[in-house]
Structures are given as structure tokens and as C-alpha cells.
Structure 1
Amino acid sequence: MATSTLTGLLNHVAGIFPSRRALSVSGKFDLTHARLNQLVEHAAAQLLAAGVKPGDVVALTFPNTVEFVVMFLAVIRVRATAAPLNAAYTFDEFEFYLSDSESKLLLTSKEGNEPAQAAAAKLNIPHLSATLPTADSDIILSPTQSKFDTDSLAKLTNDPSDAALFLHTSGTTSRPKGVPLTQQNLYSSVQNIKSVYKITESDSTVIVLPLFHVHGLLAGLLSSLGAGAAVALPAAGRFSASTFWSDMNKYKATWYTAVPTIHQIILDRHLGPRTLLPEASVYPKLQCVFGACDYGSVRGGIWCASFGGVRYDGGYTLDGVKSVARGRPT
């Protein structure tokens, strides 16, 4: 695998930090980088057996779960293109995005997604569900792919020009437009974010943003994994203010990244009755880092004052203090 690809980078990380924690879900999973790599390779072999070919677009609609992470990485491992979709979309929205991206397969959690599956059925797009029963098991795709081998996968070499991620613009001024990003794009973005926020294998983060969105996916998840750092996913599959600080403390998080709305929710909880905050008797010390546009700076300034953080503008951290990214990373 080429090292200038995201897949190559993560494979390299699994080789040099095999026993370091990569991915956790409170009360469920604690996966090392080596174990995550094994799960991805096994799931990728199943995708090949299911008929996924290089260049195919595979739509994924999941909560923030281990299954999403494994299947996203498995899709790009087989040189296909991952198209994450908001699980809250309506039937019409799913129909548009599945059609516009020319998706060849829909992946969901084992619980499924009725609007997504109905839209896929209308478009004659096959559907598979993915589940990881235990940390020691492999991803199970249903319907089960009974015949698969790793030899075919071993012959696939990821290329920097592979279209790895398919996103849509917000459609604020017109219809949403599809934007494909290559393995090289993802690799470069991860390396830049790691450099700006000084993320290393010693870091740990809690994901609060949805992974179908580029901010949560790239800045929170992939940049951490690409540094050999540790990532914790909320047990509920989405951000929860009631478990945020307990997760931050449990996993000794050194940073997190979010948008102003999330920061405001955390701040409101802090300013509310202290009886609501038994999980946060001690806050981890975090530095406030703002993007170049100073997006959400008023909320951020109050956040810094409330939690004892030091404000630092321009997107860089000070030596010895880990960052909390504010607004969209640049």
C-alpha cells in the first residue's frame, strides 16, 4: 500500500503502534490499532466477496459506531468510494443522495434504516447490514458472505488517486453537488490536521460530531487514528452532554473538536445546577484553539473562562498543552 494514502498511513500506524488503544466504546469495546486493522482487512475481504469493485460508490448510514469506522475503512481499502449519509435523512433525501452518487451498495447497522432501505430498494441498490458482536469476533455482514478469502484483497494496492470519499455540498444556494476526495486528499488533510493540532500517539479524544460529516470524520476520527492516538465513541452512538465529561475523564482525553453549538451545550450544562455534574468534578485542562475565521469566538471565549482554559488564536497549540479545536479546523 502506498504510504501517501490514508489506507497506507493507517496500516503503517498499526505496524508501529500495534498495542496502543485505537478505538473504544464505553462498556463495550477497546480495540488496539492492530486489532482495528485486522477487522478492516476481514471486512474488506467480505466486501469483495459481496461484489464490491474498485471505483464503486458504497453508501453508509450509521450512528457513530465501531461498525461505521470499520466499514468505512474497509470500503476504501478495496479501492471503492465511501459515501457517508446522515441517518436522519428522509426517504426523498436518501433517494436523491443514493441516486446522485450512483451508489452500488447500501451499508447500515444491524438495526437498519427504513427510509434508506426503501430508497435503495426503489433504486435497485442492494443492502447489507454490519455488526460487531464482541471485540474478539469479526464484523458480520448480513446477508452473510460465506465464501471469501484474503488472497484477492492482498492483490489490491491502494493508489493516491483512488476516489475514497464522496461528499455533497450543503446545497445552501442550489442543489447539493457531489465532491469526490481521493486517498491523497485524505492523507494530506490528516497530516495537516495532525501538524496544526500537534496530535501524537500519546493523545486521546472523544468524538462528539457526527462521522457522516467531514469535520467529525477527518478532524476527529481519521486524524487521531492516523497519529496512532486513541478515539472514544459515545455509547449512545451520538453526542450526549450527560456522558461527555465522564468519557473525557475515563479515557484521559487530551483534546476534542466540535462546533459552537456543541460547545454551548457543554457550557450550559456547566452553568446549570452542579448536581447535574457529578461526572465533572475535575475537568481535564484543555487549551482553546480557534480556526482562522475565529468561528464561534464569543462562545469559545466564555468556554475558556468557564473551564480555565487558555485562549490561543490561529490554529496552533502551545508546547505542553493539548488543544481543543473550536469551529471548523483549518
Structure 2
Amino acid sequence: MMSLRAGLLGLGVMGSNHARVLASLEGVEFVGVFDPAESVPDRVHGKPVVRDLDEFLQLGLDYVVVAAPTVFHLEMGTRLAEAGVHALIEKPVASTSHDSRILRDLFADKGLIGGVGHIERYNPALQAARQRIEDGMLGEIYQIATRRQGPFPGRIADVGVIKDLATHDIDLTAWVAQQPYLSVNARTTHRSGRPHEDMVLAVGTMSGGTITSHIVNWLTPFKERVTIITGENGVLVADTLTANLTYYDNGKIQVDWDPGEFRGVSEGDVTRFALDRKEPLLAEHEAFRDSVLAGEARGIVTFSEGAAVVEIAEQMLSDSLSWRLTD
């Protein structure tokens, strides 16, 4: 396999995980990191940490992973595009839909591969769920409900819970259902005294008639990542924390006489699937590496898809009713 030279922008919590994967990724030579913070070490996995972006761009890079705060994504992405470097940018792809479209068009015009780090697409439970939906297990999809709750992460300062967390659910829901959103609306709260929302309840409608609901917050003292997909034949429940997928089949009831009344469904068999559990971040990196080598998107979240996610997130924000804690 041809060796690609890869670098990393940003060495925070997520950046450190990217560095770990890059340092051992087959077919990739990890050459260095850009991070101007004084608190980061001088070397990571034996590679230099550069404080000057121009110096970093002179390392002879084929592609770069951007794990800097969202507010810097447009600037960093633009610099990489101007240098002819492919980029995998952590989600959301940019702070606004306008900035997202700028990056999308810029990379397309320069013939560069742009990917977005919507890591849930690479979770074994959701990948298996999508495959089973394509195979017809659920029949028509009626509803997709997600719950993404947990304590506040201190690393987040520039966006609220919608753009930081709910973007996961926006992307995975459209991807699993293979339907774009037609509309969304939401209710948000500001309970922690920060300028950004910290809790959201959103509902939406997809192009195929599937309805969605999303409970997302930073105010729950336990971590939950659950996707419930209800169809005409039963329900798939994906837990992306444990990478478990369970199927609840609608029971088959013999009916000798039908008076024409709605009978609903009944409990049937329950199956917990055995899955191949590859680390999602590794799978994401492998897909981006392969896309760069092929010169076309192969199994990645494109900048176009990332921009669509930010547009839906902004619709949630603009169409939401908000309650703010006051003195």
C-alpha cells in the first residue's frame, strides 16, 4: 500500500485520539502536529508538535485531520485547501451552514477529498442496523428516536449541545434511514448559565414519511447513546456505547376473525446480534485513507453531507422555543 503523509491540527481530547490512530495506521506516515498551546508537549508519538502553521504546512502533507475548535474550521480548512492538502475535519464541519458550503465548494473546486468526523456512522451497531434495514428486516421505517445524554464536557466552549452533540443524531438518522430531513423543530433550555443551549428536544419528518425524535443534553449524570428504529415488522435498538444491536420482532398472532379494528402489535422474539466490533475511529480513518488513495469519496461523510447536517442544526436553533434560567 502506498504510504501517505498525514498530520494533525489540534491536540485536545479528540486530537489525542486521532494522534493515537494515525501513529499506527497502516499505509500512513504520521509526520507531526500543529497546536500553538503552551500546555501541549513538544513531541507526540515521537512526532514533532509545531507551533507555527506555515511551518506545519511545509512538512509535505498529503492529508490533515482537523481537531481544532469548531470556530477555527473554516480558517484551517481554507489554509489546507490552498496548500492542496486533503482534510478530515471533526464535526461539525464548520460553525455555520454558510461556512460549511464555502469549504464544500472550495475543496470540490480544487479536486480535494474532504471528510467530516461523524464517527457514529462507523459504530458497529449502527452499521449493522443500516444493513439489516436495507435487507428488509424492518419493512417500512415508521420512526427513529435517539437519546444522547450525559454530563457537560469541559472541552466545549464555542457551540451549544445542538451543534456539538445533536449533529451526531441528525447525521446518523438520515444515514440509517437513507432519507433527508424535510423539517425539524425543537425546544431548548439554558440551565447552566452558558450562552449556548445545553438541552434540546427535537422532532422531525423525513422525506419518506419517517418521523424522528431526539433527546440531547449535557445535564444528565449518566451517559446514554441509544437509537431506536421502529418499523412495520419490529424494532431495532442500537446502543453505540456498547456497540450492541438488538431486534424486537413483532409477534405473529393467528387471527380467525377480523372485526376491522386496529389490533396493534404484540411481543415476539428478541435477538441480540453478535457483531464484529472494530473501533469506530479506526474505521473512520481507514475509510478516509482509502478515499485519498482512490481520489474519490469511499465510505466517508462528505463535506456536502456535513453541510446538510449543519443546515438542519441551524433549523433546530432558529425554529426552537427556548427557556433560559434567570435570576
- Please classify the TM superposition score into its range, dividing by the shorter chain length: under 0.3
Structure whose alpha-carbon radius of gyration is higher: 2
**Relative contact order (C-alpha < 8 Å, sep 6+): which is higher?**
2
Normalised by the length of structure 2, the TM-score is 0.26
Normalised by the length of structure 1, the TM-score is 0.26
Which has a greater percent of helix? 1
Which has a greater percent of strand? 2
